[in-house]
Amino acid sequence: MSKRVYQLILDLPEMIEKAIHLTQSALKGKQGLWQRFQPQNLIISGMGGSGIGGEILKDLANKYSPVPVIPSHDYTIPNLTGKRSLFLAVSYSGNTEETISAYRQAKERKALICVITSGGELKKMAEAEDDLLILIPPGLPPRQALGFLLTPLLVLSSQKKLLPFTISVIRKSAIKLKGWLTECSKIAQSLAKSFYQKIPYILAGSSLYTACAYRWKCQLNENSKTLAFFNTLPEENHNEIEGIGRPKFMRNFLSIVVLFDPTAEERIKLRIRLLPTLLRGQFFSFQEVAPLGANDLERILSLLLIGDLTSYYLGRKYKKDIEKIERIEQLKALLGELTSGKKEL
Amino acid sequence: MSKRVYQLILDLPEMIEKAIHLTQSALKGKQGLWQRFQPQNLIISGMGGSGIGGEILKDLANKYSPVPVIPSHDYTIPNLTGKRSLFLAVSYSGNTEETISAYRQAKERKALICVITSGGELKKMAEAEDDLLILIPPGLPPRQALGFLLTPLLVLSSQKKLLPFTISVIRKSAIKLKGWLTECSKIAQSLAKSFYQKIPYILAGSSLYTACAYRWKCQLNENSKTLAFFNTLPEENHNEIEGIGRPKFMRNFLSIVVLFDPTAEERIKLRIRLLPTLLRGQFFSFQEVAPLGANDLERILSLLLIGDLTSYYLGRKYKKDIEKIERIEQLKALLGELTSGKKEL
């Protein structure tokens, strides 16, 4: 099922366009309160591939939003959740136990709730409770439904004026993204080569790209089946830099990639230029990846695309079934059996 | 200079007690506004060892606080910073360029500012601007001044009723911590053995311990001079688990330690019990570390102590100068020379 993942990665632009439409339709059915409500904070609950959208929104919000955007990946919710919170429960399957638990708690706290899912328990609960329900197509591996899971967050943030990206800007990004597929593929193939039989070390070239670096790491974990590091500049320079290539047996095993942010502080760009010399002899390779695009949203989307493609090409090199995530599925099955009483520890 | 680090680690309880006093004294000089001000949000700017306190406060706030606590490790500040923000600029030296830049921006946004430092530029600026200045003793490696850097955040949060820990609870934690030094040392020595010539993989047993796991990683980087991974449960189970022990050459190199949170969801505890079997053959060792203490604050402090001691013992095994952080210092020197025009790239 590796080919399907490849096709889904390339479908990112179409997913974004479809998800804009789905979100707008869902909002049309919810006038009144949903139009008036100005959230004091945004809480985005979700795990793994369903949770990464919240992290991406957090990075953008850090730069642009007047209110806090707080991603949460847990059974519990941030204590500040309340009546003036907009709570987004994101679970592709609709059956993620952490997100269901978080949803229930947010409901008790009387937060305004939006559910983004393809079905499952969360769909049922959202319908019963008359929450804003953004129903996305089922049957995909959650991590490759990113376009469907992230776009509603962008559209809602746009509507609430938390981000400067209008619907038409989001749509335009998707259209541009289509034109970049070939270039992104080329970059990704070359990166995959440098990651093969090494440990990828992804360094966000600014706080704006922290979630991108995290997404790369997670996709390398799940699609390529490899360990990977991620960190953010300038914070990395204050501690992890001392661990690079250490202990000695790791000396030739780190393949470092910096996600270069053209809008970053000049001092950060200077740091990036100094790093290869400072760390000479401690890594296998050191590369910068420059995103495509004319604004932060476009650049982030291009990085997500390159990261996904890289994880695909690397998985192919390792001859892995890219779609299959055996351990994650096995753990879920075990947890399920223990709940239903079919098994005991 | 390894012995000094060891002594400073053991001094954590005394540092906490002294820092309570320093913070209370500083607050006494600032009645009026500082008494009345109820922040809409708390922003804590700091890098590396000066930034970890903000992350620890964030974890506690997530569980207890009615307002958001936002750590920031950057030249820039979160966009939401404004008149109703309490902005804490934390820099041990007072000369961290990121924190100075962030301080200036927070000043422009008219946030209420508290500076925690031992001197440098930030001390001068805080004095000139009449900010709340918490002046801590100079001359220590910043990462080993944790007691001085973290405690003011706890005291201020207590005063603003963001956390349930009163001053006397904080003081009591410090006293109890003294009684745990021997036990923590024993745990740390055993952990250091299992980390030697392996890659430590620190797993927070709940979101409450994310900053603890991050602190362990950073201390292992800086004191022991080794790479290390960190992650948080349950999020780790949704992606990174697929990378454990992969590619094959990493199979016997991960030394996994779970920081067990007795207050965590039962489902997380179940996950921890399932992991060793699920990942059989993919790691070198799998251990749980149980914190000491009767409340979340005490438990977090005990974990910080165990982590610091572990990083010390591991550094000794590697025969490293534990205090010296050559690369970090070299990078700072290079950046300084480039600023002053002494050098050009």
> What does A87-135 look like in DSSP terms, one character per residue?
EEEEESSS--HHHHHHHHHHHHTT-EEEEEESSHHHHHHHHHHT-EEEE
User: Does A339 fall in a domain?
Assistant: no
Q: Does A303 score more than 80 pLDDT?
A: yes
CB atoms under 10 Å from CB of B152, counted, come to: 25
Return the structure tokens found at B11. 């001094």
Distance separating alpha carbons of residues A317 and B246, to the nearest angstrom: 13
| A111-168: pLDDT as tens digits | 999 999 999 999 999 999 999 999 999 999 999 999 999 999 999 999 999 999 999 9
Residue range of the domain that includes B291:
181-317
Yes or no, beta carbons of A247 and B80 under 8 Å apart:
no
Q: What is the 3-state secondary structure (H, E, C) of A189-204?
A: HHHHHHHCCCEEEEEE
Distance separating alpha carbons of residues B329 and B142, to the nearest angstrom: 12
User: Does A335 fall in a domain?
Assistant: no
Return the structure tokens found at A307. 């990261």
* Whether residues B187 and B301 fall in one domain: yes
Preceding omega of B247 cis (within 30 degrees of 0):
yes
pLDDT for residue B72: 98
Residues of B with catalytic roles: 222, 238, 332
User: Does B340 fall in a domain?
Assistant: no
Which residues contact residue A186 at a Cβ distance below 8 angstroms, ignoring those fewer than 6 apart? none
Q: What are phi and psi of A275, to 5 degrees?
A: -60, -45
pLDDT for residue B31: 79
Burial class (CB in 10 A: 0-12, 13-18, 19+), A114: buried
DSSP state, residue A280: T
Nearest CA in chain B to A246: B226
CATH of the domain at B92: 3.40.50.10490
pLDDT for residue B35: 86
Closest CA to B208 of B161, B153, B152, B264: B264
* Whether residues B113 and B195 fall in one domain: no
* Whether residues A251 and A165 fall in one domain: no
Among the three residues B123, B158, B175, which one is the final residue of a domain in this structure? Answer: B175
- A333 CB near a chain B CB, below 8 Å? no
Residues of B with CB below 8 A from A208's CB? none
* Whether residues B133 and B9 fall in one domain: yes
User: Does A266 fall in a domain?
Assistant: yes
Q: How far is B305 from chain A (nearest CA, A)?
A: 18
Residue with tokens 């207890």: B64
Could you list the mean pLDDT of each consecutive 10-residue stretch along chain B, which spans 345 residues?
A: 92 98 94 90 98 98 98 98 98 98 98 98 98 98 98 97 97 98 98 98 98 98 98 98 97 97 97 97 98 98 98 97 96 90 74
Selected residues 274-313 of chain B with any CB under 8 Å from a CB in chain A: 274, 278-279
- A210 CB near a chain B CB, below 8 Å? no
Of A228, A267, A327, the CB nearest to B241: A327
Question: Which residue(s) pair with A115 in the sheet?
Answer: A89, A133
Q: Which of A238, A248, A319, A342 is catalytic?
A: A238
Total domains in the fold of chain A: 2
* Whether residues A159 and A184 fall in one domain: no
Distance separating alpha carbons of residues A278 and A245, to the nearest angstrom: 12
Yes or no, beta carbons of B206 and A64 under 8 Å apart:
no
Q: Are A69 and A58 in contact (CB under 8 A)?
A: yes
A–B interface: beta-carbon pairs under 8 A: 218
User: Does A165 fall in a domain?
Assistant: yes
pLDDT for residue B15: 98
* Whether residues A157 and A136 fall in one domain: yes
Of A67, A98, A143, the CB nearest to B80: A67
Distance separating alpha carbons of residues B199 and B196, to the nearest angstrom: 8
* Whether residues A218 and A190 fall in one domain: yes
Identity (one letter) of the amino acid at B245?
G
Mean pLDDT, rounded, of chain A? 97
User: Does B38 fall in a domain?
Assistant: yes
* Whether residues B145 and B252 fall in one domain: no
Among the three residues B175, B204, B223, which one is the final residue of a domain in this structure? Answer: B175
User: Does B284 fall in a domain?
Assistant: yes
Return the structure tokens found at A320. 């892995």
Residues of A with CB below 8 A from B208's CB? none
Among the three residues B141, B175, B209, which one is the final residue of a domain in this structure? Answer: B175
**What are the Cα distances from residue A321, in Å, to A3, A178, B165, B186, B238?**
9, 26, 50, 44, 17
pLDDT for residue B170: 98
Distance separating alpha carbons of residues B223 and B217, to the nearest angstrom: 10
| A321-338: pLDDT as tens digits | 999 999 999 999 999 988
Of A221, A237, A268, the CB nearest to B239: A221
Yes or no, beta carbons of A75 and B268 under 8 Å apart:
yes
Of A62, A73, A241, the CB nearest to B327: A241
User: Does A323 fall in a domain?
Assistant: no
* pLDDT band with cut points at 50, 70 and 90 for residue A341: confident
Closest CA to B78 of A261, A39, A68: A68
Yes or no, beta carbons of A234 and B74 under 8 Å apart:
yes
Yes or no, beta carbons of A328 and B249 under 8 Å apart:
no
Q: How far is B29 from chain A (nearest CA, A)?
A: 31
Q: Are A78 and A111 in contact (CB under 8 A)?
A: no
Q: How far is A245 from chain B (nearest CA, A)?
A: 7
Taken as a whole, chain A contains a residue count of 345
Preceding omega of A247 cis (within 30 degrees of 0):
yes
Q: Are B211 and B231 in contact (CB under 8 A)?
A: no
Return the structure tokens found at B258. 């779970």
| A265-289: pLDDT as tens digits | 999 999 999 999 999 999 999 999 9
Return the structure tokens found at B184. 């923590």
* Whether residues A140 and A6 fall in one domain: yes
- A120 CB near a chain B CB, below 8 Å? no
* Whether residues B308 and B267 fall in one domain: yes
Of A228, A238, A331, the CB nearest to B278: A331
* Whether residues A134 and A263 fall in one domain: no
* Whether residues B144 and B201 fall in one domain: no
Q: Are B218 and B212 in contact (CB under 8 A)?
A: no
Q: How far is A190 from chain B (nearest CA, A)?
A: 19
Distance separating alpha carbons of residues A243 and B53, to the nearest angstrom: 21
- A51 CB near a chain B CB, below 8 Å? yes
3-state secondary structure of B286: strand
- A246 CB near a chain B CB, below 8 Å? yes
* pLDDT band with cut points at 50, 70 and 90 for residue A2: confident
pLDDT for residue B29: 86
Judge whether A129 counts as a catalytic residue: no
